Amino acid sequence: MKFFIDTANLDDIAEAQALGVLDGVTTNPSLMAKEGITGEENILNHYKKICDIVDGDVSAEVIATDFDGMVKEGEALAALHPQIVVKLPLIADGIKACKYFSDKGIKTNVTLVFSPGQALLAAKAGATYVSPFLGRLDDISTDGLNLIAEIRQIYDNYGFSTEILAASIRHTMHVIDCAKIGSDVMTGPLSSITGLLKHPLTDIGLAKFLADYKKGNE
Ligand code: E4P
């Protein structure tokens, strides 16, 4: 399972990268705004900074909602750095743009996916990644994990190579449950990765080992 971090915060990205388990980064316009990154030039520079920190794929989202605009923006994003993946919304023109980019060998991440039918369309358009938003479904009392399971079944039925990128992950149990279902990738905040480290018995056990070592070596 690949671990992506879902943020535009360079410190968080560097911390996850330093842990040695980071496979990539996803961003979106809201995450960029949260970091105060505004204006086309600053946003493009920020993507380059992210690519300099991580080794893996970095999703950069288009703002345009029409096919021509998405193609223009996506081509500029893809030209920025070989690690850039063009992130496209799941609307008709987004699917057309996904097909356009996949035919050209440019990686894509189809985002804002909330149903199995949408995920099927993204796979047929040749998406590299499909991003079902499980946390946002949970937020409205709908079973987000079930969506991941349904997409897994559909993709396995036909051998689609599109990778399921479980997005809108909120906590460690989302990560564990997605791993059980067989999601190819998860993207979440730093806390959803570092939270996996935590177990009180690990801390108690380590303290005991160190105390016993100290006693034996006094
Ligand atoms: C996906 O790529 C999105 O950036 C993200 O996971 C959305 O998460 P949120 O629902 O926590 O905003």
Beta strands at 2-6 and 57-61: parallel, antiparallel or unpaired: unpaired
Minimum CA distance residue for ligand 1 atom 6: 168
R_g of the chain, CA atoms, integer Å: 19
Q: How far is the CA of 211 from the centre of ligand 1 (A)?
A: 43
Query: Residue 27: pLDDT above 90?
Result: yes
What is the reported pLDDT for 204? Answer: 98
Tokens of 14: 């560097």
On whether the CB atoms of residues 48 and 81 are closer than 8 A, the answer is yes
pLDDT in tens, 99-150: 999 999 999 999 999 999 999 999 999 999 999 999 999 999 999 999 999 9
Q: How far is the CA of 104 from the centre of ligand 1 (A)?
A: 27
**Ligand 1 probe mutation, 3, 9, 28, most atoms within 8 A of CB:** 28
Cα–chain-centroid distance for residue 165?
6
pLDDT in tens, 174-213: 999 999 999 999 999 999 999 999 999 999 999 999 999 9
Cα–chain-centroid distance for residue 198?
22
Minimum CA distance residue for ligand 1 atom 1: 167
pLDDT in tens, 35-69: 999 999 999 999 999 999 999 999 999 999 999 99
What is the reported pLDDT for 85? Answer: 98
Portion of the chain with pLDDT greater than 70, in percent:
100
| Res. 33 pLDDT band, cuts 50 70 90 | very high
**Helix 10-19 / helix 40-53 crossing angle, nearest 10 deg:** 20
Whole-angstrom Cα distance, residue 166 to residue 41? 29
Minimum CA distance residue for ligand 1 atom 5: 168
54: DSSP letter = -
For 70-81, give one letter per residue: b (16+ CB within 10 A) or e: bbebbeebbeee
Known catalytic residues are 87
Q: How far is the CA of 188 from the centre of ligand 1 (A)?
A: 7
What is the reported pLDDT for 218? Answer: 86
Q: How far is the CA of 133 from the centre of ligand 1 (A)?
A: 7
Q: What is the DSSP string of 165-207?
A: EEBS--SHHHHHHHHHHT-SEEEE-HHHHHGGG--HHHHHHHH
The count of residues in the chain is 218
133: DSSP letter = B
Strands (E) across 33-159 are located at: 57-61, 84-89, 108-113, 129-132
Whole-angstrom Cα distance, residue 181 to residue 169? 14
Atom of ligand 1 nearest to the CA of 30: 12
pLDDT in tens, 65-111: 999 999 999 999 999 999 999 999 999 999 999 999 999 999 999 99
Cα–chain-centroid distance for residue 85?
11
Tokens of 139: 């937020």
Q: Which domains does the chain have, with CATH numbers?
A: 2-216 (3.20.20.70)
